[in-house]
Structure 1
Amino acid sequence: MTAKPESSNIKQWFRKRFNKWLNQRIPASHKQSLGNKNIFIVPTKFGYAYVFSVLILFLLGTNYQNNLIILMSYLFASVFLTSMMYSFFNLSRLQFIFNSKVTAYATQTVTIPLSIISKKPRFNISFVFEDNEKAYADMINSGESEINIPFQALTRGVNNPGRLKISSEYAFGLFVCWTHLDFACEVLTYPEKKVFNHIKQDVSDLHEELNGNTISEGGDDFGELRQYKQGESNAQIAWKQLARGQGWLTKTTQQELGSTIWLTLQQLPAAPIETKLEMLCFLILDHHKSNIPFGLELDNLQISPSTGSLHLKNCLQALALYGKGQSYSSFNVEAKH
């Protein structure tokens, strides 16, 4: 005998078919508008019970030839139909725009901003990505507004949150009006943020052994003034020189360090590759916090030693995409030759 398919397999099969149908009917786009083609509406459980009650009321009025009861059933039926129209028009002609770049650390829950454009007030609308927390908007005013939708980025790399379910049971809770929209949004996910204090000294000793002690940027003693680089901390800007009209300059400090700090996978203790990337992530954040110039080398990618938020962003992006075979529009590093 052939075994019957499990309920979970049936759900997966149905979900796959449903998503394929949605991709054809509602294609992915950064900008979406709601209308007849992408809004679905069905009665809620309360709505079905309401219809059943109206039907019973109508049958009783007909059976006993009581015009008052029949009139009441007509009145309740008209409320049901009116509620359906209000539910539909509460979502109809809403516009949504996703135009942000979202980054996160693995297992971290982030919020994805979504712009909403409406020509009239809307009420009681919920937003949710599959298997994530809901975001609620009790009222959306006319004009442009924004809502932040939670999403948990579980794995390193470029994560697609999938389709966003937008639904509302306004008004009276008799109908649920909903849609599934794909905004083609991507969440660039860095390695999980963990603390590895035990490798901090090991890496420092390794650089000292390879390069010896020399003077480098970082520490407490004043070093020199150099041209300002975009993304550097405001605390490093030479404000006095700027006020004198000498232009944008950066104050550097000095400390004893290896001549050039390179962070690589080879200098880390034996561990699974994901753990090594988490260690590199910790070292990168630690060097950035201490304002110590460092470079990153990952196989055929090499990011020159530097400091600042832009350098930090490039290094973390390199870790996020390492070994994934994925691309990201804002990722830009130098190839090693």
Structure 2
Amino acid sequence: MINKFKQYFTNKFNQWLTVRVPVAKQFELTNRNIFIFPTRFGFAYLAVLVLLFLLGTNYQNNVIILLCYLMGSFFITAKLTAFFNLKGLIIKAEPYAQGFKGQDIPVAISLEARSAKHGIVLGFDKQSTTQLKHIGNDAKTTPANRQAQVTIYYQANKRGVLSPGRVKVFSEHAFGLFRVWSWLDFGHELVVYPHPMAIASKHLLEMPNQAQDGEQLVSDRDGDEFKELTAYKPGESMARVAWKQLARGQGKLTKHYHQLSGQRRELSLDMLPPVSIEQKLSYLCYLVLQYSQASYAFGLSLAHQKISADHGEQHKQQCLRALAEFGG
């Protein structure tokens, strides 16, 4: 019964919050999206205040009553200080991030403050938090000290395209009597790839490597077979410099390779040992990373999706996203 009531209240609050603080790429904290409530220490302080007031009025002790007035004034001052510590803070975030299953996915958050802010904590719900001790400067509010970059993390326990929910921004400055917070929805989309699991080539059942009709077409893309040495051009990778020729005094040359298109690697679920689907996806993730690092051209064939052979960063990201979304 208690759990049902709690779930009902949570759903209603989330519906209200969606209307009150809708999705956006940038937020400025104002009266509309800031919430404030006493902490446990604040409630304890308030309880002591009430007890002292009852004691002072019962015994008609003006000193105790005066102390209660001072404590009450301090309580209200602390509330206003806590509220204005968060008000006016501008928060931005990129809506996309990616990482691997079982890892903490970093999400970058940008903050800007026109006045000094202290003790700001950020994080996803039920995840680790990141604290920013100070931002801004009362004496000299230049653009340089107004801004700060913070990274928060999301523990990805499953692959796929996930929505981590709202980012909680809160602070207990000053004196710890009040907690001021806000729930901000940046519409984050986290692409969680399978956890890469190493597999040796000898464990692959079959790797298609023949071109249609037995063709062996030569491609000018970078590949496995050495093609020629050419004069070094600024901007080329130092890993391709022919160091032996350079040591012999033949000048600075770079190695160029070609690749037989019929020998391009084709990755698929069928080429893997008979294990679970998740483990197969982990093997494919590992192979995609290895082949991309080695600049091999490769294709990826899944149940209802086929990615043509290619290479490069964009091709790698396309293959990894296909693995993340497989079966989803």
Q: TM-score range by the shorter chain?
A: 0.7 to 0.9
Give the whole-Å Cα distance in 2 for the aligned partners of 1:175 and 1:76.
15
- Which position in structure 2 is the counterpart of 1:333? none
Map 1:166-315 onto structure 2 (within 5 A): 166-197=169-200, 200-203=201-204, 206-207=207-208, 218-219=223-224, 222-224=226-228, 234-235=237-238, 251-253=255-257, 259-315=263-319
Q: Please, which runs of 5 or more residues in structure 1 have no aligned partner?
A: 227-231, 240-248, 325-337
Query: Is 1:74 matched with 2:69?
Result: yes
Which residue, 51, 54, 57 being the options, matches 1:56?
Answer: 51
Hey, which bits of structure 1, 4+ residues long, moved more than 3 A?
A: 7-10, 202-219, 232-239, 249-258, 299-302
Which residue, 165, 169, 179 being the options, matches 2:168?
Answer: 165
- The secondary structure found in structure 1 opposite 2:263 is coil
Per the alignment, do residues 260 and 204 of structure 1 end up closer, same or farther by CA in structure 2, a change over 3 Å counting? farther
Per the alignment, do residues 250 and 309 of structure 1 end up closer, same or farther by CA in structure 2, a change over 3 Å counting? farther
Per the alignment, do residues 71 and 83 of structure 1 end up closer, same or farther by CA in structure 2, a change over 3 Å counting? same
Moved more, 52-61 or 106-115: 52-61
**Which deviations, in whole Å up to 9, do the C-alpha atoms of 1:177-196 show, x marking residues without a partner?**
11111110111111122222
Per the alignment, do residues 11 and 22 of structure 1 end up closer, same or farther by CA in structure 2, a change over 3 Å counting? same
- The secondary structure found in structure 1 opposite 2:98 is strand
Give the whole-Å Cα distance in 1 for the aligned partners of 2:134 and 2:202.
54
Per the alignment, do residues 318 and 114 of structure 1 end up closer, same or farther by CA in structure 2, a change over 3 Å counting? same
> Which one-letter code corresponds to 2:204 in the other structure?
V
TM-score scaled by length of structure 2: 0.81
- The secondary structure found in structure 2 opposite 1:36 is coil
**Which deviations, in whole Å up to 9, do the C-alpha atoms of 1:133-157 show, x marking residues without a partner?**
1111111225221111111122222
Query: Is 1:143 matched with 2:151?
Result: no
Q: Please, which runs of 5 or more residues in structure 2 have no aligned partner?
A: 137-144, 243-252
Between Structure 1 and Structure 2, how many residues are aligned?
A: 303
Q: CA deviation at 1:256?
A: 8.9
Moved more, 210-219 or 182-191: 210-219
Give the whole-Å Cα distance in 2 for the aligned partners of 1:69 and 1:203.
83
- Which position in structure 2 is the counterpart of 1:102? 97
- Which position in structure 2 is the counterpart of 1:316? 320
- Which position in structure 1 is the counterpart of 2:142? none
> Which one-letter code corresponds to 2:268 in the other structure?
T
2:171–2:179 contact (8 Å) kept in structure 1: yes
Give the superposed CA RMSD. Answer: 3.2
Give the whole-Å Cα distance in 2 for the aligned partners of 1:265 and 1:113.
34
> Which one-letter code corresponds to 2:152 in the other structure?
I
Which residue, 85, 92, 99 being the options, matches 2:87?
Answer: 92
Query: Is 1:21 matched with 2:16?
Result: yes
Give the whole-Å Cα distance in 2 for the aligned partners of 1:275 and 1:111.
24
TM-score scaled by length of structure 1: 0.79
**Which deviations, in whole Å up to 9, do the C-alpha atoms of 1:221-252 show, x marking residues without a partner?**
632489xxxxx98346779xxxxxxxxx9853
